[in-house]
């Protein structure tokens, strides 16, 4: 007898079947560009919005403040051991280690920081399970009360889990994306 699928597996299956169409991409770009350009920009916006939701949920689980404004690509370099050692709080340590992306920087070629709220709203509306997956996993890792001992190793484990979940969700969205685009071609 095969094991029952987990809640995450069930949600990922729903996500993989949730087609993001050219019309969706045009909506995400405010119908300001052609369908082809909208699909390129929209795909990046969807990807980075998923990541942003995960980071927001991670910060919430850790009881850290909001995400910092975007910076130029120089902030993408990994922190040095000295910088990590100098972090005077767990939140400062996290800020240094938080996963970053050139697409979520001032040097992005496709999207701007002001686009992210629109992308997050789209994802929350179309795929509410994405936020649920991140939130439930982080709560489970910390215990519902959030009383787990917080230290740098905990932050590192949470970031690793974030990255694994982010990849699974992105893969689920991309699973049938080509077929969705072909079916929704204008």
Is 82 within the bounds of a domain?
no
Angle (CA) 177 49 63, round 5°: 140
Tens digit of each residue's pLDDT (9 = 90 or more) over 137-156: 999 998 865 556 789 999 99
Q: Is the residue at 90 inside a domain?
A: no
User: What is the predicted pLDDT for the residue at 51?
Assistant: 98
Name the nearest CA neighbour of 25 among 34, 38, 15, 16. Answer: 38
CA distance 186 to 182: 9
The pLDDT-based confidence of 4 (bands split at 50, 70, 90) is very low
Residue with tokens 């991140």: 134
Cβ count within 10 A of residue 117: 11
145 touches 69 (CB < 8 A): no
**Does 133 map to a domain?**
yes
Rounded Cα–Cα distance for residues 143 and 72 (Å) = 36
Total structural domains within the chain: 1
* Domain, as residue range, for 59: 20-69+111-174
Which among 60, 22, 62 has a CA at the least distance from the CA of 149?
A: 62
> Considering the chain, what is the average pLDDT of its residues?
89
Mean pLDDT of 54-74: 92
Please indicate, yes or no, if residue 48 is contained in any of the structural domains: yes
**What band does 2 get if pLDDT is binned at 50, 70 and 90?**
very low
Please report whether residue 117 resides in a domain: yes
Residue 49 lies in a domain: yes
Residue 94 lies in a domain: no
Q: Is 28 inside any structural domain?
A: yes
């Amino acid at each position: 007898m095969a094991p029952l699928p987990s809640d995450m597996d069930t949600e990922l299956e729903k996500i993989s079947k949730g087609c993001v169409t050219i019309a969706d991409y045009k909506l995400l770009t405010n119908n300001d560009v052609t369908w082809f350009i909208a699909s390129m920009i929209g795909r990046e916006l969807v990807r980075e919005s998923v990541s942003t939701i995960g980071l927001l949920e991670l910060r919430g689980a850790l009881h850290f403040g909001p995400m910092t404004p975007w910076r130029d690509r120089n902030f993408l370099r990994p922190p040095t051991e000295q910088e990590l050692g100098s972090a005077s709080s767990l939140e400062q340590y996290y800020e240094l280690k938080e996963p970053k992306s050139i697409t979520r920087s001032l040097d992005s070629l496709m999207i701007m920081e002001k686009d992210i709220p629109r992308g997050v709203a789209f994802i929350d509306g179309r795929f509410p399970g994405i936020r649920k997956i991140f939130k439930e996993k982080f709560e489970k890792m910390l215990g519902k009360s959030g009383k787990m001992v917080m230290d740098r190793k905990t932050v590192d484990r949470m970031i690793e889990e974030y990255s694994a979940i982010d990849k699974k969700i992105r893969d689920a969205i991309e699973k049938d994306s080509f077929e969705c685009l072909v079916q929704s071609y204008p």
